[in-house]
Amino acid sequence: MRASDADRDACAERLATALSEGRLDLTEYERRLDAAMRSVVLGDLRVLTADLPEPPPPAPVPDSSLTAVSRTALVSPWKDWVDEWRWWLGGAVIMTGIWGVTSIMGNDAMPFWPLVPLGIWAAILIAAAIWPDDNAGTRR
């Protein structure tokens, strides 16, 4: 049977795993990878990985009706939103630190300029929470 691109990619992934585990040296890996990319039939690919251990079977799916994927889908938007606010807080600390150092060095309190970029950034985060982009997770 003729090999597909997916078959060649799976073979390449298996070879890369063998390289990372130390089962193949770089020269042998490159030789086998080149042969895998040129393979036309599945038998050619099997020969390239015949001396390598079989990959572990996929982990079993839990019996719970709420799978990890659906759990992630429920938690992810809030986690992402909290992560964005953490970035905002980090930016606030850095900008306020710069403002404080420059004010001390100038012996005069400068206007609190971080208010402008932090205010705009916060407004964008709040707008994203009020009007979420429902297609954000489906784009490629």
Give the span between the Cα atoms of 102 and 17, in whole angstroms: 52
CA count, 13 A, side-chain hemisphere, 44: 17
Task: Give this prediction's pTM.
Answer: 0.43
pLDDT in tens, 13-34: 888 888 888 998 999 989 999 9
∠91-94-99 over CA atoms, to 5°? 120
pLDDT in tens, 79-107: 777 888 899 999 999 999 999 999 999 88
Mean pLDDT of 45-49: 91
